[in-house]
Amino acid sequence: MATRDLSSGIASADLGEGQIIAGQADGIDMVLVRHDGRVCALSALCTHLKAPLADGIVADGTIRCPWHHARFNIKTGEAVGAPAFEPLDSFEVVEEDGRVRVKTTPVPNETTSHTPIPDIGNVVIVGAGGAGYACAEMLARHGVGSSVTLIEDEGEEPYDRTFCSKQYLAGKADRDGMALSVPEGVVMRTRAHVIAINREDKTVGFEDGATLPYDTLVLATGAAPIAPDFYGADRDDVHVLRTVADADRLIAASVQAKRAIVVGSSYVGLEVAASLVGRRLEVSVISDSDVPLKKTAGAEVGAMVRDLHEANGVTFHDARRIARWDGRTAILNDGTRIDADLVVAGIGAKPRVDLAALAGLVLADKAEGGGVRVDDHLRTSDRAIHAIGDIASVPDRRLGHSIRVEHWVVAQRMGQWLARYLLGQATYGYDAVPFFWSGHYDLSLRYVGHVASPDNRTINGDVAAQDMAVRFMEAGHEQALLTAGRDKLSLKREHEWERR
């Protein structure tokens, strides 16, 4: 179909309320959206990873990305929902005599809030991962960046951690491609280790003896990878993958390697397998599960993902584990021997709660998934201290109990909500619907919602053809949806659950 010429214009009647139309004006790709009777023209691609917004949906004054569910204000182009932070370009629109035309002169972007900026005091954020960065960025965007200190302990500028197991590890993106800009006005302290919180004095203490006062403290310390425990697991050729430094070490090791073993068939473990295949390594996956992803997606989706990996050369050793590794050969618990040059463990992560525990904050119990217990305003047992991201055990209104979710977009949106709360813009409790995505070769999975177990599930479509929707039930209600090839359905269900 020919591209619509938006400079010449289209008939007003062709653009209904909430409809998205793609086209070009003077060679610039853009989308037209009619919202509240007004026609808006925005750049056509999501600023996160260039997804076509014409394939997304319009909901609650936003246009939503079909791939990773980023959200943009239709009237201004502002990126109001992670994982996108950069705004869309907005263009002037003229509607007269029954036609809509676009002028390519950009309209300046503005934040959607025009409320007075409050005095939020000194906000100290410990952790610059998805949650901490998103909180600092949103505060800076609304003019209070100079009140924020963002502390990180990796020695790295902010970056998108999802690249570590996907694009960066696979060699499809460089460090610049995963970098996130330091928010304007924010004081960034890198390679700084907070070792204590003095709640009475409201200060944090650093490893070098320095202290820093706070009015509001935000703990966004994230999670740490679980180390494997087989004999030889302490060798330098056994890798975990959490940070960009971990990815750098693995990339350097893979240059001279021909064969790799991945321990664990989780989403991240399988993404690592696909990325190493992309680097032309022979990959074996060893897992104590009999089917990959069975505990989260169900056996049908797990079998489809395994078939896809096997078609790309990956060998699976299910329901087994490594007993011994000597740098050349892994001996499994059934005696199987697998020759390899390196091992990567992707067997999960645990919340980094040591700092919170030392400060005497209330922790969530094992049944809640561990972490730091917070209320629906993300406050810990000390009202001056908030916890967000992978460490936060948060009340979920749909499920009726607290959950702790280790996903990038969940952490980012938690940080953005907290920023709005500190700014006085959020008058309701945190209730975002969890979302994550996972990529394997040409397969993209989208998961919205949350359930503790996939046992109660209904499948629509053809799983083997990678065109399906898997609905998961908990407590008598549909609470999660896993899709492939049905991006709009995923977006619509997320929006329905938000409204509910």
Tens of pLDDT, residue by residue over 47-83, are 999 999 999 999 999 999 999 999 999 999 999 999 9
Contact 216, 123 (CB under 8 A): yes
Q: At residue 93, does pLDDT exceed 70? A: yes
Output DSSP code: residue 151: E
Percentage of the chain exceeding pLDDT 90 = 94
- Between CA 483 and CA 437 the distance in angstroms is 10
- Helix, strand, or coil (residue 1): coil
* One CATH from 3.40.30.10, 3.30.70.120, 3.20.20.140, 3.50.50.60 for 123-224+350-422: 3.50.50.60
> What's the rounded Cα separation, in Å, for the pair 74 and 78?
8
pLDDT tens-digit map of 260-316: 999 999 999 999 999 999 999 999 999 999 999 999 999 999 999 999 999 999 999
CATH 3.30.390.30 maps onto the chain at 442-499
Residues 288, 321 contacting (CB under 8 angstroms): yes
Instruction: Provide the 3-class DSSP secondary structure of residue 28.
Output: strand
What's the CA gap between 70 and 79, in Å, rounded?
Answer: 7
CB neighbourhood size of 180 (10 A): 17
Query: 442-499 sits in which CATH class?
Result: alpha beta
CA gap 24, 83 in Å, rounded: 26
User: How much is the pLDDT for 500?
Assistant: 78
Q: pLDDT digits over 209-266, tens only? A: 999 999 999 999 999 999 999 999 999 999 999 999 999 999 999 999 999 999 999 9
Buried b (16+ CB within 10 A) or exposed e, 194-210: beebeeeebbbbeeeee
Q: pLDDT value at position 114?
A: 59
pLDDT at 263: 98
Question: What is the spatial distance between Cα 385 and Cα 37, in angstroms, rounded to a whole number?
Answer: 43
User: CATH for 4-107?
Assistant: 2.102.10.10
Q: Is the pLDDT of residue 110 over 70?
A: no
> Each residue of 151-192: pLDDT tens digit?
999 999 999 999 999 999 999 999 999 999 999 999 999 999
Q: Would you call 287 helix, strand, or coil by DSSP?
A: coil
Cis ω before 83 (30° cut-off from 0): yes
Number of H helices, E strands in the chain: 10, 37
Bridge-partner residues for 282, per DSSP? Answer: 259
- E-state strands within 255-381: 259-263, 282-286, 315-317, 322-325, 329-332, 337-339, 342-345, 349-351, 372-373
3-state secondary structure of 73: strand
Contact assessment for residue 57 and residue 22, using Cβ atoms and an 8 Å cutoff: no
Residue 111 in this model has a pLDDT that exceeds 80: no
Q: What one-letter code names the amino acid at 473?
A: M
Give the per-residue pLDDT at 116: 76
User: Which segments of the chain belong to CATH 3.50.50.60?
Assistant: 123-224+350-422, 227-347
CA angle 331, 337, 341 (to 5 degrees): 85
pLDDT digits (tens, 9 = 90+) for 17-34: 999 999 999 999 999 999
Please check whether residue 272 is in contact with residue 344, taking contact to mean a CB–CB distance below 8 angstroms: yes
Q: Which residue has the tokens 């906000």?
A: 123
pLDDT tier, 433 (very low <50, low <70, confident <90, very high otherwise): very high
* CB atoms near residue 366 (< 10 Å): 7
Inter-helix orientation angle 408-422/130-141, to 10°: 40
- What is the per-residue pLDDT for 47? 98
Q: Hey, what CATH topology would domain 227-347 get?
A: FAD/NAD(P)-binding domain (3.50.50)
298 φ/ψ sector (left φ>0, alpha ψ -120 to 50, else beta): left
